[in-house]
Amino acid sequence: MLKLENVSKAYRTTEVETLALNEVSIQIEPGEFVAVMGPSGCGKSTLLNILGLLDSPDKGAYWFYEEDVAKYSEKKLTALRRTGVGFIFQSFNLIDDLNVRENVEVSLLYRGVSSRERRQRVAASLERVGLSHRAKHLPHQLSGGQQQRVAIARALVADPRLILADEPTGNLDTENGEAVMKMLEEINAAGTTVVMVTHSLTHAERAKRTIRLLDGKVVSETLLAA
């Protein structure tokens, strides 16, 4: 279970303070598929960063399954993030001079996984997204949809409990966006918790629940599917 209790987060410069999250309390059960919606600047990315252990709240508690991680050091957050969270980004974030196999393998290099096991995991992950035949291609040799599938394989290769997807279809056409949504549904059906930020109401309706943010606060939660 993921649980935020009265979480607030502010970003400060020398002249201004921006309250990105304001007393946010949400709970996400294991195996849920949750969509997060709201206008630009409402706190969606900050929420995703905290859920993914990339940032810590200024106030409040965050329970990452059985651990209250709100005050964890960056070293402890990094260790937990490497084993428990997979990320999918709108811009793919692939490394240009690494081939497909190497881009997926990067996710395992800091986890102490043996080279033999890395090869097996990467092969299985690429097979899962239908890109085994592209293993030696560079990112620029792939379509946008294929690049996003590589990003999904990279997110899955460590078998995380949680997948965080930040506008995963934002740079894709309708056909490739639909393919990515089907993959996310399959990942969730296999038992992985999925939290997706999206501006698309159509894609949000594929989730089981939608959380709407406005000005750093949760303004509604809607159960969309049984």
pLDDT tens, 75-98? Answer: 999 988 988 999 998 889 999 999
pLDDT at 225 (0 to 100): 55
Chain centre distance of CA 224: 20
Strand order across the 67-68 sheet? 17-28, 2-12, 59-64, 67-68
188-201 mean pLDDT: 94
Name the pTM for this structure: 0.92
Whether the Cβ atoms of residue 9 and residue 57 lie closer than 8 Å to each other: yes
* Interatomic CA distance for residues 34 and 27, integer angstroms: 10
Tell me the C-alpha to C-alpha distance, in Å, between residue 115 and each of 2, 94, 111, 164: 32, 21, 11, 26
Residue 56: the pLDDT is 92
- Return the residue matching tokens 């706190």: 43
Mean pLDDT of 62-67: 91
**Residue 24 to residues 28, 44, 58, 81, 212, Cα–Cα distance (Å):** 13, 11, 12, 21, 11
Maximum separation of any 2 CA atoms in the chain, in Å: 52
Distance separating alpha carbons of residues 24 and 7, to the nearest angstrom: 5
Using pLDDT thresholds of 50, 70 and 90, give the confidence band for residue 223: confident
Residues in the chain, overall count: 226
Which residues pair with residue 64 across a beta bridge?
Answer: 2, 67
- Residues 105-119, mean pLDDT to the nearest whole number: 89
- pLDDT for 107: 86
26-57 per-position pLDDT tens digit: 999 999 999 999 998 899 999 999 999 999 99
CA angle, residues 107, 125, 133, in degrees to nearest 5: 115
